[in-house]
Amino acid sequence: MNRAHPAPLLARLGILLLALCAALLPAAPAAAISRVKDVADFEGVRDNMLIGYGLVVGLDNTGDNVQNDAYTLASLEGMLERLGIYTADQKQFMLPKNVASVMVTAKLPAFARQGSTIDVTVSSMGDATSLMGGTLLVTPLIAADGEVYAVAQGQLTIGGYSAQGQAASVTKGVPTAGRIANGGIVEKEVAVEMAKLESVNIALRNPDFTTARRIAQAINSYLGTEVANPTDPATVRMGVPEQYRGNLVALITDIEQLPVEPDQTARVVIDEHTGTIVMGNNVRISTVAIAQGNLTIRITETPQVSQPAPFSTTGTTVTVPRTEINVEEGQGNKMSVLGAGVTLQELVNGLNALGIGPRDLISILQAVKAAGALQAEIEVM
């Protein structure tokens, strides 16, 4: 009878034991891995802001009051004169209520070609009450250099409405702003010769020395050569390898998919207006004792009316004050000690144990920072 060799049997038992231990141990938290394209931008791949001034016509008596908005009347006269209609002697009769002066804005995408279309946003700049049903006339859109890069025109789409009667009115959304889908036509391109570039700058959206170095290391490891170098916390300069010369699109496609773990600065962001507090995972706090107590004084006035009996000939009706005062000193709250190097979760749990709300938490974090125990930056919005 054949017997199993003890060595393979022990090996199988060892593997089974290791698998059992791995199943019982808590799983390690996964690192926040992101792609390069999610944390950085490539040089030349950016939008350009466009702006223009135009007129919207066809409104249902909801346009500008030309007696108050002189620029609307001047724009209307100029447009009519360009069409061969002169109204210099008829200004007193030009009182339209279906015209509104507007600002037109749009974004020119990177590598947008001549003849392609873009979306535009139209916003009233006069005293028009609604742009519903209006049509934007031909409006040139210029960039920061003063050149015309697109022309917009079309029917507006309004997301809100306004209705008014003699005794009531209702308004939903913003009826004085709207959009025109594909309402702009690109007339001029932004020239970017990517095929001739010998190097590319990668701009980090959140500048950080560690993240910039990790991106450069990921690129060099993928390409197998030292072509990427962080020049500052916000920029990684990458040379174009020989195999990618003339095909920069392929290089960027490969690089932007590389995984990288961005580093995070220990920071606490506080919004005083809404009481919102956001703390990063790297926030640490030294040993500190925290006590929170509020003195609350509640005064309640319940005046009573004292009046004479019915049909009485004496006495007057008077108001007798009744005041009740309650003082709460927060005696139920206790002092809590937070040990050195506690994590974000331990910090939140310790402060929640004191029954502290967001408003009090803001004051406590600022006091802990002033004491030098909070190892993080505080940014107040």
Which candidate, 197, 214, 198, places its Cα nearest to that of 206?
A: 214
Which residues, 6 or more positions from 340, have their beta carbon under 8 angstroms from its beta carbon? Answer: 286, 287
Hey, what amino acid is at 294? Answer: N
Q: Cβ(118)–Cβ(63) under 8 Å?
A: no
Confidence of residue 16 (pLDDT cuts 50, 70, 90): very low
Which pLDDT score is estimated for 380? 80
What are the tokens at 23?
């199943």
Q: Name the H helices within 205-341.
A: 209-223, 248-255
C-alpha dihedral sign at 220, 222, 225, 228? negative
Three-state secondary-structure class, residue 80: helix
Exposed, middle or buried: residue 310 (CB in 10 Å: 0-12, 13-18, 19+)? exposed
What are the tokens at 204?
């980090």
Q: Which carries the bigger pLDDT value, residue 317 or residue 74?
A: 74
Question: DSSP code of 166?
Answer: S
Confidence of residue 18 (pLDDT cuts 50, 70, 90): very low
Residue 4 has pLDDT above 70, yes or no: no
What are the tokens at 260?
């990288």
pTM over 0.75: no
Task: Please write the tens of the pLDDT for every residue from 49-95.
Answer: 999 999 999 998 888 887 777 788 888 888 888 888 777 666 655 66
Confidence of residue 43 (pLDDT cuts 50, 70, 90): confident
**Mean pLDDT score, 310-327:** 66
Q: Cβ(278)–Cβ(378) under 8 Å?
A: no
Rounded Cα distance, 59 and 82, in Å: 22
Residue 295 has pLDDT above 60, yes or no: no
Which candidate, 69, 70, 178, 166, places its Cα nearest to that of 121?
A: 178
Which residues, 6 or more positions from 14, have their beta carbon under 8 angstroms from its beta carbon? Answer: none
Question: DSSP code of 28?
Answer: P
Backbone angles phi, psi at 317, to 5 degrees: -85, 125
Exposed, middle or buried: residue 46 (CB in 10 Å: 0-12, 13-18, 19+)? middle
Rounded Cα distance, 220 and 197, in Å: 19
Q: Which carries the bigger pLDDT value, residue 353 or residue 39?
A: 39
